[in-house]
Amino acid sequence: MQGIVEPLKAMGVSLVALSPQVPARSLAMVENKPLAFELLSDPGNAYAGSLGLRFRVPAEVEPIYRGFGIDLAVSNGDDSWTLPMPARLVVDGEGIVRDTAADPDYTVRPEPTETLERVRSLLAD
């Protein structure tokens, strides 16, 4: 996403990411790899859930995550073991969602270049 920040800015568009991680975890991540866009916190995946973009990690997958040192209860500050689906929402200045992309398969993520093209297309309309 870093690669499309400047082209978006040139079009007067802001990029914002939403994470269920507690702010301290996100801050540690950003200190290691600074982001050129805002990273907002979504405690308990509440906002993602309100959009239907939250899923519970299956119980049989939890030990696999833990084996990799990932404890979502610690990272996200709640014991829900939920994650947001990777998604893109393009929202205009009036707060109207103009474009979306989401997939329940966490390995399928909206491509940054596709996001850039969707924004260009919407601005051209």
pLDDT for res 27: 82
Q: How many C-beta neighbours within 10 Å does residue 21 have?
A: 19
* CATH architecture, domain defined by 2-117: 3-Layer(aba) Sandwich (3.40)
Q: Which two tokens stand for residue 31?
A: 């200190």
Q: What is the pLDDT of residues 39-96, one digit of tens each?
A: 999 999 999 999 999 999 999 999 999 999 999 999 999 999 999 999 999 998 899 9
pLDDT for res 31: 84
pLDDT for res 45: 93
Q: What is the pLDDT of residues 8-46, one digit of tens each?
A: 999 999 999 999 999 888 888 788 888 899 999 999 999
Chain-centroid distance of CA 6 in Å reads 19
The pLDDT confidence band at residue 98, using thresholds 50, 70 and 90, is: very high
pTM value > 0.75? yes
